[in-house]
Structures are given as C-alpha cells and as structure tokens.
Structure 1
Amino acid sequence: MGATALLVSAALAAPAVAAADGPGGARHTATRKAIEAAVAAGVPGATVTARDAHGTWSATAGTGDLRTGAPRSTADRYRVASITKSFVATVLLQLEAEGRLSLDDTVDRWLPGVVHGHGHDGRHITLRQLLNHTSGIYNYLADAGFQRAYFTEDGFSKHRYDTVTPGDLVAIAMRHKPDFAAGTSWNYSNTNYVLAGMVIEKATGHPYAAEISRRIVRPLHLTATSLPGTKVTLPRPSSRAYSKFKNPHGPTYDVTTLNPSIGSSAGEMISDSADLDRFYGALLGGKLLPPEQLKEMKTTVDTGIAPNVRYGLGLMETTLTCGVHVWGHTGGIHGSSSEAAATEDGRHSVAVNFNGDWSGETAPVLDGEFC
C-alpha cells in the first residue's frame, strides 16, 4: 500500500471505550449495547446520535485511531456514501415541485445520447426509474475493472487519488448490457444517481453539489455536511477509516484519504450523525418537500433483497423486528459503514457510523433505538 496507507496490525487495536453525552441515556441503553456489540464483533469504532422529543443523545464505542488508541468522537465527520442519494432525490423532487422538470421525463430529454449502448436507451427510462432503481441501468461499481482498481489492495494503492468524472462512470456502465428492461424489475445501481446529479446540473445550470448546498445544507444549518468533490481528506473532527478489502481475516488498511469522485452524486458526501438526524427529521417532517412530492418519495417498490426493505425515491422503508416502520438510507464506502433513519413524522431519528467496512451490522442499532 505504500507509506500513505498505514497497515495496522490487530495487535495495535486499543480496548473498546464508550462515552455519552446529552439527556436521557437510560432510554437509549439498547442502542448503546448495539454499538458496543458491533465493536466486540470487530468494528474498530462506532459513533451514534439520536434525536427525539426529549432531546439529543450521543454515544461512541471502540477506537477512532488504531495507531494511537484515540477513541471515536460523537462529533466525528465521516463519509456517508449512499446516504447522498436521499439528498439528490430531494433536490430533484424540489425541481419537480417548482415545475422545472417531471419525474416522468425521460433521461434522454435531459441527457440526450448519454444513456446509450449495449441495449441501454435513455429514451425509454424515466427520472423516476433512476431514483427508485427500476431503470435497469448497469451499476458501474460492479464492473470488474473498477473493482480491481478501487477494491483491491494493489488497485486502491495505485488509484485512490485518481479523479474520475460523472461521464467516466456512466461510460463504464454503458460498456455492459442493462440488468433488465426499464420498469420490469429492481436492482441497486449507483449509475442511476450519477445520472440524477447530471440532470440536476442540466436543469439548473449549477453543479448538483451547489444545489444541495443551497437548498438543503445551508437552510438546515448542517454545519458538518460537505460535498468534497475531489478533496481527499476528511474535515476535523474525524476518525481514521479502515478496510480489509473484502478479506475479513486479512490485514487492516488505513483508507481515510481517497478521492471521492468515484462516488460522485451517488455517494461522495461527508456529514456527521447530528446533521443526518436533522436532515431526515426535516425531510420526513415535511420541511423540505411539499406533501405531493414527499408522497412520491415514499412510494416504494419491492427490492427483493430483504422482505422488510422497500425502496422509494432515494429513501428506504425498513420494517424493524418490532414492526415499527422507519425511513432513511444506508451508506458504505472504503472504511465507512453508515445508516440513518427516522420515524414517519420525522420526530425520532438516529444515525450511526462504523469506521470499518468489513464487519458490523447497523440494523441492530435501529432495532435498539426504535424498538
């Protein structure tokens, strides 16, 4: 990996530590136990924040830096990966509410000729199908060459600071056949949201990141949220991020610095747990979208990945083990695994992050908080 990617031995891992602040910790005992269990199972560290009618509560467990033993912080910034999709979908729905586009517009209307080749045809795919992953467009992340370049030790070492454009990512997808004819099935494809970001730029004349900042980040005062573009570092405060590159028994690599352009509008954002709580609380609480658009966003389709998970427009509906329905999104990128969710009225929310990408389930955290 080279000097810029510290190889951390398991022997350097510090013992788990936990801290909390905010009122009502006793009400969140199960949530705390869930993050401590994740650390016991091998996650380096976890940070979680919940908001409800009683206030805000935060806790950490485990280690933020395996070299120094420093703990995680409740204020940690981290890469939220696919949680970015909820922000992108919100902007597109705002544009629909303003009459600037329709979700029933074809992709080709906004991006003529971009979705073309090997059976892909943007003339027969709608913006709605991009947002709910029923487009059939191939997921560039599944490309074997992309996997070798970014998800193996050697490839990541060589390419972690490369800049790729949205057009580059779409072009990778167009080298493959579609997964299915548009509207006939469901498959999660990051290419859908790269295209959605391109549509936002075409419709507004501004980069999608600028529109998210103007329409969501600044109005909600999300002070820990940023769209880094090609900036490779995490803002402080933050912990280190670790990966085993799909080998749970292999060495642990520090992957904190990377060029997030590989995620583009499908997954480049950085945030913290408090900001994610505020965002989903505002979204579900009707502060970002008119009722008609929020209803569209919450109109879900079957995913086939789990009987308790359905997908709307950049929004996942999850039925927890106790029967409670929550809305939010998961996110995974090198060294970071996250989930944020809120109740249907937005009044109760939780966001959690693990700074390792090889182990740990976020679902028990949601069960602990809402059940």
Structure 2
Amino acid sequence: MIRLKITAIPRRLLCVAFAAFAAWAVAQQQEQALRSPEDVNGFVQSAMVDVGIPGAAMTMIEGGQINLARGFGRLDDTGNAVSAQAPFQIASVSKSFTALVVLQLADEARLAIDDLVVEYLPDFRMADSAHAGAVTIRQLLNHTSGFATLDGNRLHGIGSDDPGASEKAVRQLGDSRPIAAPGERFQYSNANYIVLGHLIETIEQKPYEQVLDERIFSRLGMANSYAFKPLKQTAEAAKGHEQWFGIARQNHRTPGRATLAAGGISASAEDLGKYLRALTRADPRIVPPILARSFADAEFTGYAFGWHHAMVDGRRVIYHDGLSPGFRALAAILPDERRAAAFVMNLSGILGGNLHIGAVHHALGLHPVPIRPSGGIITAIWGSLATTLCFALGCFAALRKAFTLRHTPWNTAEAFRWILVVVPSAVFAGGAYALLVLVPRSLALDFAGTGVFYPDLAAVLLATAAIGVVWAVVLPILLVKRPKAAA
C-alpha cells in the first residue's frame, strides 16, 4: 500500500500568507469604508432621479473633519436650488438636541437625570397617577417611561403658535395609559420628549427655541438652524413635499410648538456637519461627560440619551432617523472611527423609498440598502385603491338592485329578512370603524395623524369607509321598506 507523505506548510510561509491576506482584507475594508465626496455626490444624484426626490442635502465627517456639505435638487416648486446652507426639517433627529440640553442641565447640577419628573413638573400626570409619580427623567430620555407610541403621535400639533403649547400638550397626555411599569420596557414615543421640552422650558424659564439657540446653535456657529421659527435671518428653507400615490406635492406645514422637542428643529447640511463634528470630538462646548461616556460604551446596544446604539456590519453605529410631513432625515455616527454622515430630503410618503438610509449607508461604507419602495408597499397602496374602486362598484350595484326591488315583496321568512338587513349593516359599519380607527392604530397613529403623515392613504381609508357607511345605512333602509310577501 502506497502512503502519501504530506508535509506541513512551513510556519514562516504560513505567517507570510496570513499577513498578506490580512493586509488585503484591511485594504478591502478601507476601500469600502472610505467614500470620496465625488462618489457620494454621484450616488445621491442618480438615486434622487431614480426615486423622484425633489431636494436633499448631505454632510459627511471623516477623522473629525467635515469633508462634504452640499445640497441637491430643488427647494420648492419654483425650482430654487438647494444649497448647503438651506434649512430642512430634521424631524425626530431633534430628539438628540433635546437630550443634549437635558444632559447639559444635569452637568450644571440644575437637575439629576434619575430625579422624578414630578419634582420639576408637579402637574405631570398619566391615567395611573402612581405610575406618573414614579417616572424619572432618564426614563423619558430613554423611552422607558411607559408612554405608548400612539400617545405621542396623537399630539402632532401642526401649526400651533401658542406659547403655552408644550404645557397644554403635557396636560393632554394626562389620560395616557402606561404600557409597562417605569423603566421596565422600551417603547419609542414622542410623548417622552414632549414632556422633556416642557421640563426644559420650566427650568430655563425661556422658550425651547431660545434655549436651543443659546446652548447649541450659537456655540457651534449653526447660523441656519432653528426650532419652530428662525430667531434671526437664515437661508431660504426647503419646502416639504408629500406623496400622493407616487406624485410629489408641495405642502406648507410647519411644526407646532407642542412637539418642538420631539421633532421640530430645522437645520442645514452645513450645520448638521458642525453638530456631528462636535459629537465625534466630544466638543466640551456642548458635549457633557455623561454623553461622551455613553458614546464610548462599546458594549451597549439600545436607546440612550436621544440616540439608537447598534452594531451594523460589525461596526458600532449611533444614529437617529426622522419623519415629519414632507421630510425624512437620518444622522449616523461611527464613534470608533470618528466618522459620521447625515442626509435630509424634502419628501415623505409611503412610496418615498429609503434614500435617506441608502445615502448614509453608502457614505459610511455600510451594506447597501434598497432605496426604492418595496414591491409589497407598492402593491399595498395600489391594491388599496383597487379595493376602494371595487367596493364602490359593489355598493352601487347593491343599492341599485335594492332600489329596483323596493316595491317587490319579500319571498323569505321574517327572521331571515332581518338577517339580510342587520348583518350587512353591521359588517359595513364595522369595516368603516376598522378603516378609520384600527388601520391607523396599526401605524401607531390616529386618523388625523394618518392624514398628516400619509395623506394618500388617509384619503383611501376615508373614501372606503364613507362607502361602507353609505352601504350600512342606505341599504337596510331600502330593504326594510320592501313589502312583505302576501299571506
């Protein structure tokens, strides 16, 4: 029997091969991670045309320095070009600013984040008064207070210019039913940051927008950033666009004062670059030690102090996204690499796609994500339109037949006749309730909120529900009026 002698690869050769492979892997990772401004510009411009985004702006940080800040497309329907100085609504990315101010106040010993909220806001209430009395500031910051997502989304506060709006909003939250004990469960809710906004105004004795300007915008030279309305002259702001079945329509919505702290800040790409640069450097002008420690914690994943912490492609990513009527935004930081990127666009809607995510992933060398809306979403929106049309045709045909037969005697037993009257009425009334209440609730919204964020979907729901109500009311009337069969 012949035996083959297998000789081991010399250790030195193995080490050389391993080192070469490691060098190649590092080079590949760097090539993926390092995106030039020209590359990012080309990606965004091509994707905007593909998805149909009116306007956008982006900033990138490399090595703690801004290496890209520019605008793309148009500000509004007049065709004015987007500049790096043009403010965009950044929606829920605003929460990071609110949390930053709260942590600054804690650093100044004007509050402690583990203090009870009622120590500063004695009128803070929830449906369970004992629960409200046990909620801490940290739990508001980290969305573990027990507020439900729906609680925050029913107070969208569009257009309210009332100086006492935040206090009134907190009072309106008094009927909120806790979903869990304080600190027990995470559920993202604008309600937490609405309360924090009122807390800031109470401690500072100043409007929220003035506090933000003094504590963050002015310190960093963010000349084209503001909350609610500009306190000084700024560049022309981008106008939001909402999608109506895939067609972008300009809107004129402005954030209400009640929800400023949860999602009411506007900022330019240039200013977002200054903000992210300060965060990546732990700039002592605005970043207190507690936030710097949170960013440095390599083990933590979850939500803390206005930011999501996650592992993406084996890299630590700290991020926050945002959605407001007419705008989408995403800011992300790679704390271990001192890199960051932010993208804002003036389009929202079910068919708006995910360019804000795709652009940031591309800039930071993360895995690619689909930027176009999924086939399921497209099918759902057009399917809902088809359903409404079929429902309308069915209703028309049934009512027409019932009207035609209104003088024709019944040929059925009395009990069955009432079944034919009551059951369809109950089904269609229940369907209308589901469309106007349950479907919006599945999106963590009420119907009014659905109209604000997804107007095309709200129009379909309302039209279909209205047809259901007509069917539920008129059809039984016509059936009841039909004469009984002769004895």
Q: TM-score band (shorter)?
A: 0.7 to 0.9
Correspondence for 1:63? 74
Residue 69 of structure 2 aligns to a residue in which SS? strand
Q: What's 2:303 paired with? A: 311
2:203: which partner in 1? Answer: 203
Contact persistence 1:300–1:310 (CA under 8 A): no
Q: Shift of residue 316 of structure 1?
A: 2.0
Partner of 2:453: none
- Describe the shift of the 1:28–1:124 C-alpha distance in structure 2 as closer, same or farther (beyond 3 A): farther
Identity %: 25
Which position in structure 1 is the counterpart of 2:319? 328
Q: 1:297 to 1:170 in 2, by over 3 A?
A: farther
Deviations 1:132-176 (A, max 9, x none): 101112344433xx57xx7xxxxxxxx646647112322333333
1:270 aligns with 2:281: no
Compare the two structures and name the one with the higher helix fraction.
Answer: 2
Alignment of 1:281-360 (within 5 A): 281-287=277-283, 288-296=286-294, 310-320=302-312, 322-344=313-335, 347-358=338-349, 359-360=352-353
CA distance in 2, matches of 1:202, 1:297: 28
Check whether the contact 2:103–2:288 (CA below 8 A) recurs between aligned residues: no
SS of corresponding position for 1:100: coil
Shift of 1:35: 5.6
Q: CA RMSD in A?
A: 3.2
**SS in structure 2 opposite 1:105?**
coil
Which amino acid in the other structure matches residue 311 of structure 1? Y
How do 1:206-225 residues align onto structure 2 when only pairs under 5 Å count? 206-225=206-225
- After superposition, the Cα gap between the structure-2 partners of 1:310 and 1:38, relative to the gap in structure 1 and judged at 3 Å, is farther
Distance in 1 between residues matched to 2:261 and 2:298, nearest whole Å: 21
Larger strand percent? 1
Partners of 1:120 and 1:41 in 2: CA distance:
49
**Post-superposition CA distance 1:292-318 (Å, at most 9, x none):** 34324676999xxxxxx7311112224
**Cα offsets for 1:41-81 (capped at 9, x unmatched):** 2322222122324752234444333x334443332211112
Match for 1:360: what amino acid? G
- State whether residues 125 and 173 of structure 2, in contact with CA within 8 Å, keep that contact through their aligned partners in structure 1: no
Select the structure with the greater relative contact order (CA < 8 A; seq sep ≥ 6): 1
Partner of 1:171: 171
* 1:225-264 matches, cutoff 5 A: 225-228=225-228, 235-244=234-243, 249=245, 252-264=248-260
Q: Secondary structure at the match of 1:91?
A: helix
Q: Is the 8 A contact 1:301 1:312 kept in 2?
A: no
Matches of 1:90 and 1:55, distance apart in 2 = 21
User: Which of residues 100, 123, 134 in structure 1 aligns to 2:133?
Assistant: 123
Name the structure 2 match of 1:48: 58
Distance 1:114 1:131 in 2: 16
CA distance in 2, matches of 1:339, 1:70: 23
Deviation by residue 1:236-287 (Cα, 9 ceiling, x = unmatched): 323321113xx5x165432234253252211111111121121122123221
- SS of structure 2 residue aligned to 1:253: strand
C-alpha displacement of 1:34: 4.4
**Residues 60 and 100 (structure 1 numbering): CA distance in 2 closer, same or farther, change over 3 Å?**
closer
Verify: 1:370 aligned to 2:364, yes or no: yes
> Could you tell which deviates more after superposition, 32-41 or 175-184?
32-41
Assess, with a 3 A threshold, how the Cα gap between structure 1 residues 215 and 55 changes in structure 2: closer, same or farther: closer
Q: Is the 8 A contact 1:298 1:315 kept in 2?
A: no
After the TM superposition, which segments of 4 or more aligned residues of structure 1 sit over 6 Å from their partners? 297-302
Q: CA deviation at 1:192?
A: 0.7
Unaligned runs of 5+ in 1: 1-23, 151-158, 303-308
For normalisation by structure 2, the TM-score amounts to: 0.59
Tell me the TM-score normalised to structure 1 length: 0.76
Task: Measure the CA separation in 1 of the matches of 2:327 and 2:196.
Answer: 23
| Residues 300 and 311, structure 1, Cα contact 8 Å, conserved in 2 | no
Letter of the 1:370 counterpart: L
- Separation in 2, partners of 1:301, 1:184: 20
2:153 aligned with 1:142: yes
